[in-house]
C-alpha cells in the first residue's frame, strides 16, 4: 500500500555489512597486484584476502557516513585499517609470539611461506597502509589526511597495539588484575577500533565533539568484544567438556569471568553495550543505525 511504501525501510544490518565488506575486499585486491617480487606479494595477499569479518573498515565507513561523509572518502583509510589489523595477526601468530598454525580457516602466514617471509609481509603491509592513505585519498583536505595518519600511527605503536602486546607478553605466568587486563584489551583491541571510527569521522568532516563520542563508543565496543569472547570461551568449552568448568577456568590466562565471576562479566557486557549506544544517541538515529547494530551484534554473537 501507499502507506507501507512511505514508511522508512528497516535497517538491514547483514546486507549493510555484506555490501561494505565487498567494496573493501575489491579495493584491497586492487591495492596489492601480484607483481615482482612474487613471493612477498603472494604472502601479503594470502593473509589480507583470507576473509576476515572486516569489522574495522566497516566501522570506519559507517563513522564517515554518520557525520555526512561519503564512502569513497573513507575507503583508503578503511583499507589501511585492515592492512594494519592483518599484519598484527601475522606477527601475533609467529612462533616467537603466540605460535599459531591456523588463522581465518587457513594455515598461518609463516606456515605457508616461512617465518622470514611472514615477518616481511607484515612489515610491508604496515608500510603500505600509510602509503595507501597518503596516495589514494581523494577529495579530502591534506589537513584531514594528516590527522588520520597520525591517529593510525598512534593506534599501532607503543601506546597502541604494540603496547598492549608487550604488556600481554610480559604478564605471562604472572597474576593479572582487572586493571592490567583492561590495559591489554584497550590497547590490543580497542585502540584500532577507535582509530577506525575516529578516522572515519575525520574523513567525513566531523567535529571534535563527534570524534570524542565515537572514540568512547569504540572503547566500549572493544572491551565488549573481549568480555564476550571470554564468556563464550567458558560456555563453549564447558559444553564441549560437558561440565561447568571451561578451559579458561583451568588455564592460567586472565579473563573477565575468572577475575569477576561469570554473572558479573555478563553484567559488565550489558553495561558496555549500553554505554556504547548512549554515545550514539547524540547523532541522527538513522545514520547511527549501522554502529548501533554493530555493537549489538558484538554483544550477542554466539561464536
Q: Could you give the CA distance from residue 123 to residue 287 in angstroms, rounded to a whole number?
A: 36
CA-based nearest residue to 76, from 119, 26, 42, 14: 26
Compose the 150-189 pattern: x for residues touching ligand GRG by CB under 6 A, - for all others: ------x----xx--x----------------------xx
**DSSP per residue over 33-87, as a string?**
---SSHHHHHHHHHHHTS----HHHHHHHHHHHHTT--HHHHHHHHHHHHHHHHH
CB atoms near residue 87 (< 10 Å): 27
CB atoms near residue 14 (< 10 Å): 9
**Residue nearer to ligand GRG on the CB measure, 126 or 149:** 126
Chain positions 260 to 299 lying near ligand GRG, rule: CB under 6 A, are: none
Chain positions 186 to 205 lying near ligand GRG, rule: CB under 6 A, are: 188-189
The residue from 119, 126, 221, 288 that contacts ligand GRG (CB under 6 A) is 126
Chain positions 229 to 258 lying near ligand GRG, rule: CB under 6 A, are: none
Q: Could you give the CA distance from residue 230 to residue 226 in angstroms, rounded to a whole number?
A: 6
**Residue nearer to ligand GRG on the CB measure, 206 or 222:** 222
- Long-range residue pairs from 291-294, CB within 8 A, at least 24 positions apart, any chain: 291/59, 291/62, 291/63, 291/66, 291/197, 291/214, 291/217, 293/11, 293/13, 293/16, 294/13, 294/55, 294/58, 294/59, 294/62, 294/221
Instruction: Confirm or reject binding of residue 207 to ligand GRG (CB under 6 A).
Output: no
Q: How far is the CB of 47 from ligand GRG (least distance, A)?
A: 10
Cα 148–277–70 angle (5° rounding)?
A: 40
**Residue nearer to ligand GRG on the CB measure, 226 or 277:** 226
Q: Could you give the CA distance from residue 290 to residue 16 in angstroms, rounded to a whole number?
A: 8
Q: How far is the CB of 97 from ligand GRG (least distance, A)?
A: 6
Q: How far is the CB of 299 from ligand GRG (least distance, A)?
A: 14
Stretch binding ligand GRG (CB under 6 A), from 47-55, 107-115, 127-135, 249-257: 47-55
Compose the 75-114 pattern: x for residues touching ligand GRG by CB under 6 A, - for all others: ----------x--xx-xx----x------x----------
The residue from 55, 83, 201, 276 that contacts ligand GRG (CB under 6 A) is 55
Q: How far is the CB of 48 from ligand GRG (least distance, A)?
A: 10
Q: How far is the CB of 287 from ligand GRG (least distance, A)?
A: 23
N residues, the chain? 303
Q: How far is the CB of 121 from ligand GRG (least distance, A)?
A: 12
Do the Cβ atoms of 100 and 115 come closer than 8 Å? no
Interface residues toward ligand GRG, by CB under 6 A: 52-53, 55, 85, 88-89, 91-92, 97, 104, 126, 156, 161-162, 165, 188-189, 225
Amino acid at each position: 500500500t501507499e502507506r507501507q511504501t512511505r514508511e522508512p525501510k528497516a535497517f538491514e544490518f547483514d546486507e549493510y555489512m555484506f555490501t561494505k565488506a565487498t567494496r573493501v575486499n575489491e579495493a584491497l585486491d586492487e591495492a596489492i597486484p601480484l607483481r615482482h617480487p612474487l613471493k612477498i606479494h603472494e604472502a601479503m595477499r594470502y593473509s589480507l584476502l583470507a576473509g576476515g569479518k572486516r569489522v574495522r573498515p566497516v566501522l570506519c565507513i559507517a563513522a564517515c557516513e554518520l557525520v555526512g561523509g561519503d564512502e569513497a572518502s573513507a575507503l583508503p583509510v578503511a583499507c589501511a585499517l585492515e592492512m594494519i589489523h592483518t599484519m598484527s595477526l601475522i606477527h601475533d601468530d609467529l612462533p616467537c609470539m603466540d605460535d599459531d598454525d591456523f588463522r581465518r580457516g587457513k594455515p598461518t602466514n609463516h606456515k605457508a611461506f616461512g617465518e622470514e617471509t611472514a615477518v616481511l609481509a607484515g612489515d610491508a603491509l604496515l608500510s603500505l597502509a600509510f602509503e595507501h592513505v597518503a596516495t589514494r585519498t581523494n577529495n579530502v583536505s591534506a589537513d584531514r589526511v594528516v590527522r588520520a595518519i597520525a591517529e593510525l600511527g598512534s593506534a599501532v605503536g607503543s601506546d597502541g597495539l604494540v603496547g598492549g602486546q608487550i604488556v600481554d607478553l610480559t604478564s605471562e605466568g604472572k597474576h593479572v588484575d582487572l586493571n592490567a587486563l583492561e590495559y591489554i584489551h584497550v590497547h590490543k583491541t580497542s585502540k584500532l577500533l577507535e582509530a577506525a571510527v575516529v578516522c572515519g569521522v575525520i574523513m567525513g568532516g566531523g567535529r571534535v565533539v563527534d570524534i570524542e563520542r565515537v572514540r568512547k563508543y569504540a572503547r566500549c565496543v572493544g572491551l565488549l568484544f573481549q568480555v564476550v569472547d571470554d564468556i563464550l570461551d567458558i560456555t563453549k568449552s564447558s559444553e564441549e567438556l560437558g561440565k561447568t568448568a571451561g578451559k579458561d577456568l583451568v588455564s592460567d590466562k586472565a579473563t573477565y569471568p575468572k577475575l569477576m565471576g561469570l554473572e558479573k562479566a555478563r553484567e559488565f557486557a550489558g553495561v558496555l553495550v549500553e554505554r556504547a549506544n548512549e554515545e550514539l544517541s547524540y547523532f541522527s538515529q538513522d545514520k547511527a543505525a549501522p554502529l548501533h547494530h554493530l555493537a549489538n551484534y558484538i554483544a550477542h554473537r554466539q561464536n
